[in-house]
Structure 1
Amino acid sequence: MAVLIDNYIPNSLNNTLAIVASGLLILYVFNSMFNYARDFLLTILGQRLSIEIILGYIKHIFELPMEFFATRKTGEIVSRFNDASKIIDALASTVISMFLDVGIVVIMGSVLAIQNRTLFLITLGCLPLYLLIVVAFTKSFEKLNNKQMESNAVLSSSIIEDIQGIETIKALNSEHERYQKIDGQFVDFLRKSLDYTKIDILQQALKTFVHLALNVIILWIGAQLVMKNEISLGQLMAYNALLAYFTDPLQNIINLQPKLQSAQVANNRLNEVFLVKGEFNAKKHKLLADQLAGVITFKDVSYCYGYGQNVLEGINLTIKEHEKLTIVGMSGSGKSTLVKLLVNFFEPTTGSITFNEHQIKNIDKHLLRSYINYVPQTPYVFSGTIMENLTLGNRSDVTEKDIFKACQLAMITEDIEKMPLQYDTVLDENGGILSGGQKQRITIARAILSPAKVLIFDESTSGLDAITEKKLIDNLMSLEDRTIIFIAHRLAIAKRTDNVLVLDKGRIVEQGDHQTLMNKNGYYASLVNS
């Protein structure tokens, strides 16, 4: 540019000007290609980081123990995905800046120093100002980032909770009340976002001022040098033009600060989850499913949630292979907690549980849960076809004949055949088109198809009428090669099983078959007669 202004224009060198213009156009083409490559690499790097961070987070969540989910809201877990995106953005931008922006700053800095040392030293004088601005806002960004992310987590939790409970909200005619709660949380989130944005805008304004002030100072000092004939006008204009190629990547590097601080706060929140140990990490003895077959024994087992009182106290119990057992008791007596210990959702606070004399703590959890299947009180079906739901987690050698037989045993065959696409009927989230009883029977059929030799049904027939329930229980009782444990409030089931376990306030108060317990005229008899 200096030669252009000082020589070519004054001397009317048209042909040379055409060559220079062509050269500049070619240079700008390469510049555009460079910017395209930079943005493309940024996108590719962001996707690679997404695979590592977001999929790593999801995988870790699947491996966490049930205690984690019992103490966390869904929204708190989901909000970490937004946090992860901040980390990905910061890491991708940092890597690109380290490889490209730093290189450009060094190269252009050398060019500017060659052009004029005096002006370059003035240019370097802006760096302490940038550094001062960065340091001045560090604590504010950290504090406001944390508040914003926490507020977003609370808001996400409430929205998810209300969508999941929309039926109850409408039944209670409480739409306005729930909306007001979310409205308040949303306003709080917006307020905290605005606080962060105000600080960010203020910092950007100060950076812009330093940048513009630098341009003015360079032109001012440079003009004085031109008037003193220390440099030519062309050299000044060339320096000023090249200055943008130095300050723009420098700004990119400096602007990493708020991104890196957001990423740091987000990383701390993600680490709250990542630092929770997965339940499959510990090395266990290598056993086969057949080695677990046999007697299941509870010995002096007690359990409490956190630091509360014991939910179960001094449980001593033996469950024989292929036995049919019913566990009964009042609500809150510890029935569900007892069977969840069997699938190792929770670990006993004291005492031990053994499968064929193998300690449950030494058994690989994948193996354990392929041997014993728990069907929860609230049935859950996933979005997808009925067939996909039935075959979820089943044994590898299952056939269509096995599926049809399992559905017959679960008394769900007729219901499926009445649907438009039968087994290929697509269900939405949690099977909205199904009744509670139909969902229960699909989950029972799914359990029958599993490789499990021990089946636990936690109030899994509560949504059925008495006649359907009786036929279904008859079908389950016919599975002679399975150990079956029922948790039931309807004591009609207890009459049909080999053994009845009676719980009260976390303790076993009675045990025996139905008739024996009735003859004792104790706690069980009072439950039957009430």
Structure 2
Amino acid sequence: MEAPFEKELPAGPINKSMLRYLYKLLSTTGMPKKILSIAALLSIASSMIGLVWPVMTGRFIDQFSTGGINGLLIILLVGVFLMEALTTGVSYYMLAYAGNRTVTMLRKRLWSKTLALPVHFFDNHRSADVMSRISRDTDEIRTLITEHLISFFSNVLTVIGALVILFWLDWRLTLVVLLAAPLGAAVIMPIGGKMYKISMNMYEQLGQFASVLTQVIGEIRLVKYSNAEKREQKNGFDKVDHLFELSMKEAKVYAVLSPLMSMIMIVLLTTVVAYGGMRVSSGALSTGVLVSFVLLLFQIMLPINTFATFYSNLQKVSGAVERLKPILEAEVEDEHDEKGAIMPILTQDIVFHNVEFAYSSEEPILKGINIYMHAGQVTALVGPSGSGKTTIFSLLERFYVPDKGLITYGERSIADFDIASFRSKIGYVSQESPLVDGTIRDNIMYGRIDTVTEAEMIEASQQAYAHDFITSLSKGYDTEVGERGIRLSGGQKQRIAIARALLRKPDILLLDEATASLDSDSEHEVQQALEHLMSRCTTIVIAHRLSTITNADQIVVLEFGQITGTGRHEELLNTHSSYAEWTNKQFRQTRSHDPQRLID
């Protein structure tokens, strides 16, 4: 069952524990601390320089009003402007580098962790949600570092420094300014809480919308031949409309927040200018000091205006970290593999020892499974849908761990082997063998981390009866297959998948019989390719055809997660009533079309 990451929103607008977790995460991700420190110092220097030129400007105006112009003061003023521009530019670039570098390392860490997560993690989380976490949520962290974090602290210093200078220039006017601070905080804090809830809901809806897009676009043929365009159009429109509603809620908040902040600033500025003008006219204050005061007031207003943005971004980052945490803290497949054993060279027997397994706390899928699969032989699994055949495959591939019992390879549990070494010895061919977007060459070599020669690839393709059709294509092995191999026929995809399995040189072959959905022409060639592959492996096949069962060294009959019979075809026909009934029934139903088919 699919489920979003977050079960509920954090208790408060800013989750402090998540911010601590973020700090620890960034510290261990490889954040360039030296560059960030230099950028912080430059940003602080820029802020401090920004406090100098308003005072110098006031002095310049006072000198101009008295008829004297100090050339040195002009040179110093220009120098201050240049220094502020230089420090601002360099600090911005260094912050951008630090932020992007940090998020790049974080994304790499998340991507590596995602690839190492067990299959059951993806059973419980939407793929679109996982993609959104790695891309969108990490971008919020990047924005915080590059645009807000250091600037927030430098802006705090700017405000403090400006207030000190304002008190020095005229403490009465400064008290007028300070009266606006509680008013601004009273406006920002409650609105910020609403922004947090809206942002979290927006993330959730974006994840759901991405999930709909992924599902529909990925299965567009199903949508079209099912005439489900209208249904999916309505589903998509509902998601888009919900996003629109949330966007408008966000717009309403900004529509209130922005004018309120502007009004506070305008009223404050008007009050300062009016009161300051009165003091200038009375001679208690010079014009230059008033100009310096107003310029410094702007130096305060601009940072304060960014505090609301910083607060909003901090809320989003807190939510983003909350959503990244399940990925980062999930247990990976080989977390308990400490120097796992390497697979033996010679093929070994595979044995299920009283294995039980359940996907949830409900009724177990497998109950007390005992199977002895002899090395180099073919074991066929038959039984009705839901009897546990695919689950046995999943346990052999170590996608899941048995709840009870043991699976051994030779004398050792399969859990004792290094998981990469174990899987390197497994070949898997299904009814619809998946292909990745890329060339035929990419797909045949997919999964081989060692060097593969052209001759090896061609040999595997020839054994899979794929070489002739590949070379008949205009670009041969460099032909693009398209997403999920859409540009190839079913038989062509199967033969490429078999070539890929042959190239792996597996000891264990898991075969969800690959010819079940093919036409007779393609089936003959694919069957020949499979015989090449099966001749060198211990083969476990989910049987769909009578030929597979009659030729199997061992047939295992599964019903409701239990083994109800084991033996060869002739033996089970005489001793297992359900097996004999299935065989005869399916043979009669399909004989006029395909006398070899046995659909379980």
Alpha-carbon displacement from aligned partner over 1:424-479 (angstroms, at most 9, x marks no partner): 11222212101122222211211111143111122323333345435544443445
Q: Are 2:559 and 1:504 equivalent residues in the alignment?
A: yes
Q: 1:7 aligns with which of 49, 63, 68?
A: 63
State the partner residue of 1:246: 300
State the partner residue of 1:526: 581
More deviation, 450-459/515-524: 515-524
Q: 2:131 aligns with which of 78, 87, 90?
A: 78
Q: 1:372 aligns with which of 414, 417, 426?
A: 426
State the partner residue of 2:278: 224
SS where residue 335 of structure 2 aligns? coil
Alpha-carbon displacement from aligned partner over 1:239-263 (angstroms, at most 9, x marks no partner): 1122212332333234200010011
State the partner residue of 2:12: none
Q: 1:326 aligns with which of 365, 380, 384?
A: 380
Alpha-carbon displacement from aligned partner over 1:139-179 (angstroms, at most 9, x marks no partner): 31222122111111111111111111111111122212211
Distance in 1 of aligned mates of 2:230 and 2:91: 49
Alpha-carbon displacement from aligned partner over 1:21-78 (angstroms, at most 9, x marks no partner): 5554444344333443343234323311321332222222111111121222222222
State the partner residue of 2:141: 87
State the partner residue of 1:427: 481
State the partner residue of 1:303: 357
Instruction: Tell me if the contact between 2:549 and 2:555 (Cα under 8 Å) persists in the aligned partners.
Output: yes
Amino acid at match of 2:513: E
Alpha-carbon displacement from aligned partner over 1:273-321 (angstroms, at most 9, x marks no partner): 3332222222345311117842211111122221222222211001111
TM-score with structure 2 length normalisation?
Answer: 0.82
Instruction: Tell me if the contact between 1:311 and 1:505 (Cα under 8 Å) persists in the aligned partners.
Output: yes
TM-score with structure 1 length normalisation?
Answer: 0.92
Q: 2:241 aligns with which of 183, 187, 193?
A: 187
Relative distance call for 1:52 and 1:131 in structure 2 (3 A) is farther
The equivalences for 1:223-372 within 5 A come to 223-290=277-344, 293-372=347-426
Instruction: Tell me if the contact between 2:141 and 2:317 (Cα under 8 Å) persists in the aligned partners.
Output: yes
Relative distance call for 1:9 and 1:103 in structure 2 (3 A) is same
RMSD value, Cα: 2.4
SS where residue 301 of structure 1 aligns? strand
Relative distance call for 1:57 and 1:397 in structure 2 (3 A) is closer
State the partner residue of 1:174: 228
State the partner residue of 2:7: none
Amino acid at match of 2:429: V
More deviation, 125-134/255-264: 125-134
Q: Are 2:120 and 1:67 equivalent residues in the alignment?
A: yes
Q: Are 2:559 and 1:491 equivalent residues in the alignment?
A: no
Q: Are 2:455 and 1:455 equivalent residues in the alignment?
A: no
More deviation, 111-120/142-151: 111-120
Amino acid at match of 2:554: N
Distance in 2 of aligned mates of 1:200 and 1:361: 56
Instruction: Tell me if the contact between 1:386 and 1:427 (Cα under 8 Å) persists in the aligned partners.
Output: yes
Distance in 2 of aligned mates of 1:418 and 1:101: 67
Amino acid at match of 1:512: G
Relative distance call for 1:263 and 1:113 in structure 2 (3 A) is same
Distance in 2 of aligned mates of 1:7 and 1:21: 11
The equivalences for 1:462-477 within 5 A come to 462-466=516-520, 468-477=522-531
Q: 2:156 aligns with which of 90, 102, 114?
A: 102
Q: Are 2:500 and 1:446 equivalent residues in the alignment?
A: yes
Distance in 2 of aligned mates of 1:257 and 1:207: 14
Distance in 2 of aligned mates of 1:387 and 1:467: 24
More deviation, 452-461/469-478: 469-478
Amino acid at match of 1:112: L
Percentage identity across paired residues of the two chains: 27
Distance in 2 of aligned mates of 1:215 and 1:306: 64
Distance in 2 of aligned mates of 1:475 and 1:295: 24
Instruction: Tell me if the contact between 2:512 and 2:541 (Cα under 8 Å) persists in the aligned partners.
Output: yes
Q: How far does residue 97 in structure 1 lie from its aligned partner after superposition? A: 1.6
Relative distance call for 1:196 and 1:362 in structure 2 (3 A) is farther
Alignment size in residue pairs = 527
SS where residue 546 of structure 2 aligns? coil
SS where residue 492 of structure 1 aligns? helix
Q: Are 2:111 and 1:55 equivalent residues in the alignment?
A: no
Alpha-carbon displacement from aligned partner over 1:489-525 (angstroms, at most 9, x marks no partner): 1221222222222222222222222233334363333
Amino acid at match of 2:321: N
Q: 2:81 aligns with which of 28, 33, 50?
A: 28
Q: How far does residue 183 in structure 1 lie from its aligned partner after superposition? A: 0.5
Amino acid at match of 2:550: K
Q: How far does residue 268 in structure 1 lie from its aligned partner after superposition? A: 1.1
Instruction: Tell me if the contact between 2:61 and 2:288 (Cα under 8 Å) persists in the aligned partners.
Output: yes
Instruction: Tell me if the contact between 1:456 and 1:486 (Cα under 8 Å) persists in the aligned partners.
Output: yes
Distance in 2 of aligned mates of 1:518 and 1:315: 22
Relative distance call for 1:187 and 1:401 in structure 2 (3 A) is same
Relative distance call for 1:405 and 1:464 in structure 2 (3 A) is farther
Distance in 2 of aligned mates of 1:264 and 1:109: 31
Instruction: Tell me if the contact between 1:327 and 1:485 (Cα under 8 Å) persists in the aligned partners.
Output: yes
More deviation, 386-395/219-228: 219-228
Distance in 2 of aligned mates of 1:478 and 1:177: 46
More deviation, 368-377/452-461: 368-377
Amino acid at match of 1:4: F
Alpha-carbon displacement from aligned partner over 1:87-107 (angstroms, at most 9, x marks no partner): 221233343225533343344
Distance in 2 of aligned mates of 1:309 and 1:106: 65
SS where residue 384 of structure 1 aligns? coil
Give the unaligned 5+ runs of structure 2: 1-56, 586-600
